[in-house]
């Protein structure tokens, strides 16, 4: 299912056929449409649309074009409208220095006042930015730590600004302009934004994507935006949909948290979510938080852990995937018996297997389990995390001795498994060359820098 997080359905462009536009959106697989208002009057119109159509949600706010007459009396009016159940954000707000419709001083005053209202109401904002990057970024920076969260729609800023915004907890969306022939720079920016920070939008009736460029845009065309995102990120359209649907829920509260996934696909690999239990407490792990990954909900209690039989049924024919990977928000070797049973099934069916582990399996199981990997695992990927025991203990939340235990596990595993890899995360502050030396020179195993999810 697709989501259009930004469509101005109150505009005159839709006056004659709004019912047909919404019907086409449903037929195209659009699940929700969020309609951002641009002033008090359009917020009222948007509220009526949310009452008429179940799939439509709205926002209340004053667009920078309409802030020339801004005064403090606007805030209680916006607040009253925003408190309606299906109004989910303060927006569309922001700055626009391309047109001279409102003085800059008024735009900034209105922008800040509406941000403060959003913080007060614990609501997200939807941000418009055109040729006002410096003032937008300075304003957003000033609210760091306030709980402010938002969508930076129709993004056309730099990769550096995008990275800063997502580090501040915001989401970014692109319109049909990413499908334009000359939008290579925009697509390069999109490529550098992880999908977990993206939303899908049309900005209807504007920014119509190819091949409909030159015609009125409408929510049904959001699938063309999703397809281009999938192409740029080299993932499936269904991945884009799942990820952005969850992102919409996280930001706007529209929809619901997905059910627990016990298997989940990434690229052409199938991952097995055996457990959330772990002997470690890595500072960068979200196991005790949301425990989500690319729109998959991986959170489970011990009593919810799936049986080996259930997981084998979920896998089906393992040859449909490049590999079956034992990896979730817990340590897979805690369920070593079930892991071996599943791996045996996969190998007998002609599939390939990989274990992603913290390397504590021998300590967890109170015996050397590496000989039992023979013929069951094609690859073992072990998180190195640090290059000394002191740092390792602090990062992973375990006794210092487990640093040596992890390295010994890698050394032993290479006797029984065709490929053993020590990995570090690309966002960790760790000496890459020292890590590589530990893996390749000291242990004689492979080394890889992996993406942080």
pLDDT at 430 (0 to 100): 85
Bridge partners, residue 270, by sequence: 265, 324
How confident is the model at residue 427, as a pLDDT?
59
For the chain, how far is it from start to end, CA to CA, in angstroms?
Answer: 23
Domains of the chain, earliest start first: 2-252 (3.20.20.140), 263-450 (3.20.20.70)
Contact 443, 422 (CB under 8 A): yes
CA distance 387 to 394: 12
pLDDT for res 453: 46
Which positions of the chain have pLDDT values less than 70?
A: 427-428, 451-453
Distance CA 428, CA 410 (A): 21
Backbone region of residue 214 per phi and psi (left: phi > 0; alpha: psi in -120 to 50; beta: other values): left
Burial code of 204-239, b = ≥16 C-beta within 10 A, e = fewer?
Answer: bbbbbbbeeeeeebbbbbbbbbbebbbebbebeeeb
Could you tell me the two tokens for 148?
A: 């402010």
For the chain, how many residues are written?
453
What predicted TM-score, i.e. pTM, was given to this entire model?
0.90
Residue 83 tokens, joined: 């408190």
CA distance 149 to 252: 10
């Amino acid at each position: 299912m697709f989501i259009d997080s930004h469509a101005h359905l109150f505009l005159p462009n839709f006056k004659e056929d709004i019912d047909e536009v919404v019907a086409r959106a449903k037929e195209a697989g659009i699940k929700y449409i969020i309609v951002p208002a641009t002033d008090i009057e359009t917020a009222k119109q948007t509220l009526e649309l949310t009452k008429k159509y179940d799939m439509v949600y709205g926002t209340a706010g004053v667009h920078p074009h309409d802030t020339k007459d801004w005064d403090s009396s606007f805030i209680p009016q916006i607040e009253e409208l925003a408190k309606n159940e299906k109004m989910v954000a303060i927006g569309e707000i922001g700055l626009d220095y391309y047109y001279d419709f409102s003085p800059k001083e008024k735009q900034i005053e209105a922008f800040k006042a509406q941000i403060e209202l959003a913080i007060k109401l614990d609501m997200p904002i939807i941000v418009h930015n055109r040729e006002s990057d410096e003032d937008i970024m300075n304003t957003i920076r000033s609210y760091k730590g306030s709980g402010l969260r938002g969508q930076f729609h129709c993004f056309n800023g730099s990769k550096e600004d995008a990275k800063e915004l997502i580090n501040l907890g915001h989401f970014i969306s692109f319109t049909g302009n990413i499908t334009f022939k000359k939008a290579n720079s925009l697509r390069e920016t999109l490529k550098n934004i992880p999908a977990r920070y993206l939303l899908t939008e049309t900005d209807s009736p504007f920014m119509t994507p190819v091949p409909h460029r030159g015609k009125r845009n409408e929510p049904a065309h959001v699938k063309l935006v999703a397809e281009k995102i999938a192409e740029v990120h080299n993932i499936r359209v269904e991945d884009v949909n799942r990820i952005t649907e969850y992102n919409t829920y996280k930001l706007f509260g529209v929809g619901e948290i997905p059910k627990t996934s016990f298997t989940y696909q990434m690229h052409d690999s199938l991952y097995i979510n055996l457990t959330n239990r772990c002997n470690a407490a890595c500072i960068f792990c979200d196991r005790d938080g949301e425990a989500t990954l690319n729109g998959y909900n991986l959170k489970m209690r011990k009593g919810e852990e799936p049986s080996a039989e259930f997981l084998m049924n979920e896998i089906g024919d393992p040859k449909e995937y490049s590999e079956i990977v034992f990896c979730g928000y817990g340590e897979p070797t805690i369920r070593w018996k079930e892991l071996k049973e599943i791996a045996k099934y996969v190998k007998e069916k002609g599939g390939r297997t990989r274990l992603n582990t913290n390397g504590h399996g021998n300590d967890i199981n109170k015996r050397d389990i590496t000989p039992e990997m023979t013929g069951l695992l094609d690859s073992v990927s072990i998180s190195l995390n640090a290059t000394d025991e002191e740092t390792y203990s602090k990062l992973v939340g375990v006794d210092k001795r487990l640093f040596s235990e992890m390295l010994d596990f890698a050394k032993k595993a290479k006797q029984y498994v065709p490929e053993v890899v020590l990995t570090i995360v690309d966002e960790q502050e760790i000496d890459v060359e020292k890590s590589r030396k530990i893996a390749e020179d000291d242990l004689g195993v492979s080394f890889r820098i992996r993406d942080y999810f």
